[in-house]
Structure 1
Amino acid sequence: MNDFRNRPKDNYIHEADWEQLYVLTEHWKSDLLFFRDDLRFLHHLIDKYFLWISKKENIDKVRDIEVNLLEIDKQCDSLLEKTSKHLHHLAELIDDPFTYVSDKFRDEHEILEDELAQFVKDFRKNRKEVFTITEHIIEGEALVRQLNLSK
């Protein structure tokens, strides 16, 4: 999946009514909350296996991944804030359609969607890196322990 777009057609943002955009944005917020929980799990996973590390190269890899995850955390928090504000603005538009300039607001909606798509790509890449390094550490460090025990 190359992007996060949940639109049934390319011009959906400019043709959908406010209620439809509100539902779509609620879906985004729900997904972001899930990603935030998954990020907590990834941090926990790293913390758990960090204790096993004895090789400097593994420590450096984990440190790099942790820094990347912290950036993804910031990105997620920022998007959650933007999405919440966007939902609030959509609720105002539902109540009073003349609250904002329609075209400008729809353009902002599309920008938010593009930011979410980029976030999902970044998140998936980092998640894969966490699992890859965790697997590498478990296998590599376990071998070191077995060799030390056999001496």
Structure 2
Amino acid sequence: MGKLISSLDILNTRGTWNTYLKECEQLKSKLEVQTKDIRFLQQLLDRYFDEIVQNENLDEVRESLMRFQDLCYTCGRLKKRLKDHQNRLGGIIKGASDYDPRAIYKEQSWIKKNITSLITDFVAVEKEILIIADGVIQVGKDNRNVLYQA
């Protein structure tokens, strides 16, 4: 009787590990885009912080800022976890590391799911922060127009 190939044997092929590494690179690229977008929002908040505090509802601003800080933390945590996962995959391909195919697959799936969630949450928080910043900019323009008309 011939040996049956289990799904774990399929996961153990070199091509599968290389596919995982390529997928990690794509996920890393997505995280880099998010990091740049987060940096932009941070600069926007820094630029208009005083005006935001003076002109906006502080409870709403606080909630948005707390969600933003959570996103920053989550993004940093995901970057570290992805880097560790990539290093582990590299070690497996080189034959330097032992591995549990189920654990590798589970980690890869977890990272993908959480990056997708991060992007979804980021879009919502970005929208809130841009609305707040737009409100502050409009108030500033209105105030300048009143001064010029007087």
TM-score tier after normalising by the smaller chain length: 0.7 to 0.9
1:52 corresponding residue in structure 2: 51
Which segments of 5 or more consecutive residues in structure 2 lack a partner in the other structure? 1-10
Residues 32 and 80 in structure 1, CA contact (< 8 A), matched pair in contact too: yes
Over the aligned positions, Cα root-mean-square deviation in angstroms equals: 2.4
3-state secondary structure, aligned to 2:98: coil
Are residues 1:34 and 2:29 paired? no
Structure number with larger C-alpha Rg = 2
Q: Which residue is 2:95 aligned to? A: 96
Task: Report the alpha carbon displacement of residue 114 of structure 1 after superposing the two structures with TM.
Answer: 0.7
In the other structure, the counterpart of 2:8 is: none
Percent of aligned positions with the same letter in both sequences?
23
What is the correspondence of 1:78-117 to structure 2 with a 5 Å cutoff?
78-96=77-95, 99-117=98-116
Amino acid at match of 1:30: S
Paired residues of 1:39 and 1:73 also in contact (CA < 8 A): yes
Between 1:26-35 and 1:112-121, the stretch displaced more is: 26-35
Query: What's the CA shift for 1:148?
Result: 5.6
In structure 1, runs of 5+ residues without a counterpart are 1-13
TM-score, reference length from structure 1: 0.77
Q: Indicate conservation of the 8 Å contact 2:38/2:72, yes or no.
A: yes
Partner of 1:19: 18
Q: Between Structure 1 and Structure 2, how many residues are aligned?
A: 137
- The answer as to 2:120 corresponding to 1:121 is yes
Q: Is the 8 A contact 2:91 2:97 kept in 1?
A: no
Q: Is the 8 A contact 1:69 1:126 kept in 2?
A: yes
Runs of 4+ in 1 over 4 A off after TM superposition: 148-151
Q: Which structure shows the higher helix fraction?
A: 2
